[in-house]
Structure 1
Amino acid sequence: MPRSSNRNIIEQSFTVLALANVEQTMADAFSADERGDAAAADSDLAHAAEMLQAIDAVHHRRYLSTRSAVARLGVTIGERLLAYERDEDFLRYRQLVRMEPAAFRSIVSRLAVHPIFNPKYGKTAPVEDQIAIALFRFGHDGNGASVKNTAELCAFSEGSIVNFTRRTVEALCALEKSVLCWASEGEKKESKKWVEDRCGVKKWRNGYASVDGVHILCAWGPGLDGGDSFMNRKRRFSFNIQLITLLHTLRIIGYDIGHRGASSDARAWACSAIIATPRRYLNEGEWIWADLGYPYAPYLVSPYQHLAATKSVDFRRFNYNLSSIRIRSEHAMAYVKGRFPALKGYRGLLATPEAEEYAQDYILACLVAHNLAMKEDDAGRYLVYVKEGLEREMRPNDVDWSNVNEDEEMERLAAEGRERSHEAWSVSQQNEAQEYTTTDRKDLRIDEAKERREGLHDALNKTRKLRFEDTTWRSRQKEMTRVQLAESDKRRMDSLLRAA
């Protein structure tokens, strides 16, 4: 049964009470007429007529309460954008929609064909205005993104602002598979070249992407489950979003949305499609760079533990060189939040499961719009957005930008190759499941991940003409120095001798 709106409830209650009053008044009028009191009867009949008129007025009025006129600008946001582009005032243009004119036109052309902007009945506002209003709200945080302020600046009613935003969010989410797609072969090639140029180690080039978690803060305390599941480790309400980004362009090629702030990166990553089907994304010998918040896996490479790195020159050297690549995850998150500051604090009320689902769609829409817009960015725009999103001083290695074109035929052949690789991998996993226990399979994955890191560490030393100073192969597997491993072995032997 559909829910009744507050207006319908008020109308029904008023009608019932008014009709009861009319019925009683008519009865009083008949009684007065029988007594011969014509004046009282006429008064009761007049009152009954007024009540019937009031019922009719309530059912035919759009607004029940008195409304005051709201002063609005004489031009819409779409007209302002056209004027700014005509006058080449691109700074003000970007302040409104947070992207270049070519990017905005491209997004409008892709969203305009969505059914939500083409209703069968009625007339809607121009699509350009509706999308521009949503992008304006994406591009502002705090009170700047409120419905009231947006309505006053964009020359539309507050109800229209809400409707336009919801339509744009729905249309953008419909593009997620084609926009937030995995890296093309051309992108992989350029990203691998970037990694090799950045670190100077040829064997490191196959790690062309990086994964990290980003917390989207909630402006208000959620009303779901007491808000405890939204509380992150910094005691802030948030969503935990996993982003996989290309290292050279910072394009988002994978994501996982839906986890609350209390979820760790490892738990959120466990729901990623890459874990279930890694060969559909990564070829043999390719991997993704990660941090210490992620579990060991053959397709992930992470640094050594921080505590171990404080006691070993070898560990510190590897972690330092890896950080020059891993910092690109920080740049990618800053790039998104710098373009759309609404992601610095989601302002929606999280009081129902439907509201939480819309919040996830809102975040996803921002990611889709960002990927579409960045195609038209240049190095200068990249620096502006990253600087606004980092919220710290820029460093020399923060300045990096590139772009790449795609080849459709090459993509088709590569996709077919990955599918064949996935089928072979699936068969090997089934055979492995029959041969080993779950614990043994987990140990095998950990050993394979450590062996990959060991190979990369060895390649780094050979390239830099260095040697391992305070670790051995066996100690590095346990993330200990040579001395620590010897002491650990001695304690274990002493314990065995005492037990004997």
Structure 2
Amino acid sequence: MPRQTEREQAAEALFHAYMASLISESETCLDNPPSDSEDDTDTDSLASSSDSDSDEALEPMSGFYLDQLSTLYSRRYLADRSNTISKSTEDLTLLLQDWKISRPEIFRSYVRVSPSCFDAILAAIEDDPIFHNNSQNQQDPIDRQLAVTLHRLGHYGNAASTLKVALWAGVGYGTVRLYTNRVMVAVCRERFRRSALRWPDDATKEKAKQWVEEASCPAWRHGWLMVDGTLVPLFQRPGFYGNTWFDRKHNYSMNVQTKLISTPDLRIIDYGVGLPGSQHDATAWAETRIPQEHDLLLDENEWVWADSAYPLEKWCQAPYKKQV
């Protein structure tokens, strides 16, 4: 169950108190109806008694709770907001306009990628519709949104909290989340994957096959691809369907499928993300490109090396797994 804020807890308590008071007052009215003798009372005595009774009459508690609820919902915050925190965008500007050019090692320590890689990612996502709208309030420059997101993703613990990132970048706490969500939406699109990863050309494939042949045997030279799954731990249990992310290693994680060219540099040529860590590697593998387009991507005599968790196919060979 999601955790309630203090404001939600106070509103719920006032609502229950209001309903209890309303029921109690209704029962009191039913048990003590007005008597008929009051109708025969002299008019002058009624006037004099009404003045004295009005001073002593108390407002019903239900009305008090209702007024408190009205006051609570009329305010955005439960407690008065403290003074604003002084923030500056100088650090972010210095990172993008100075260190990126003159001190790339410092730039990389903040965003965990080189300046050239940063520019490549920026070029791949800058046309995504998530960064463009018809609002009169224009979004911040995309390079600033990407820098803040990469800084957050490249750290962990308190350093990755929205508070620390917001103070460093000179933006609001909610703005950090907004930047991160926009960048991740753009990165997870198919168009980004197609632009960032390309299927190798014939020369690259031949180089990989030569390396396999030299490192193993001529019969295996066409097995120039390898695939494996990686469990990426999540920092906490997801709020929606959290149990499905619990993997066999007793962590909450995401199953990431990666395919590598079998060359000394082990360059990644495709990946698949999105499935929870509880999913079997074979299930996650079926969602990637090669199982769906193997007849277009691989020649008739080429195959992918995998472990015994993957289904055995003509184009997917698992060592130590017998063909049935």
TM-score over 0.5 for the pair: yes
Please give the residue correspondences for 1:91-490 in structure 2 after superposition, counting only pairs within 5 Å. Answer: 91-121=105-135, 122-174=137-189, 175-197=192-214, 199=215, 201-222=217-238, 227=243, 229-248=244-263, 249-304=265-320, 446=323
SS of equivalent residue, structure 1 residue 182: coil
The count of corresponding residues between Structure 1 and Structure 2 is 284
Q: Measure how far apart 1:165 and its partner are.
A: 0.4
SS of equivalent residue, structure 1 residue 148: helix
Q: Measure how far apart 1:260 and its partner are.
A: 2.6
- Per-residue CA deviations over 1:151-209 (Å, capped at 9, x if unaligned) read 12221111000000011111222312332443333432332233344x06344332222
Q: Distance in 1 between matches of 2:175 and 2:161?
A: 13
SS of equivalent residue, structure 1 residue 152: helix
Unaligned runs of 5+ in 1: 1-5, 18-31, 41-51, 306-442, 448-500
Amino acid at match of 1:137: R
- Per-residue CA deviations over 1:265-297 (Å, capped at 9, x if unaligned) read 233334444334421221111111112322322
Amino acid at match of 1:105: D
SS of equivalent residue, structure 1 residue 153: helix
CA contact (8 A) 2:225 2:259 kept: yes
Q: Distance in 1 between matches of 2:76 and 2:247?
A: 45
Indicate the structure (1 or 2) with the bigger Cα radius of gyration. Answer: 2
SS of equivalent residue, structure 1 residue 210: strand
Q: 1:132 to 1:244 in 2, by over 3 A?
A: same
CA contact (8 A) 2:89 2:169 kept: no
Amino acid at match of 1:100: S
Unaligned runs of 5+ in 2: 1-5, 19-46, 56-66
SS of equivalent residue, structure 2 residue 258: strand
Please, what TM-score do these two structures have when normalized by structure 2?
0.69
- Per-residue CA deviations over 1:305-363 (Å, capped at 9, x if unaligned) read 7xxxxxxxxxxxxxxxxxxxxxxxxxxxxxxxxxxxxxxxxxxxxxxxxxxxxxxxxxx
Q: 1:288 to 1:97 in 2, by over 3 A?
A: same
SS of equivalent residue, structure 1 residue 255: strand
CA contact (8 A) 1:58 1:64 kept: no
Q: Measure how far apart 1:132 and its partner are.
A: 0.5
Q: Measure how far apart 1:302 and its partner are.
A: 3.0
- Per-residue CA deviations over 1:114-173 (Å, capped at 9, x if unaligned) read 222222111222221111111112212233222122112221111000000011111222
Query: Percent identity over the alignment?
Result: 31
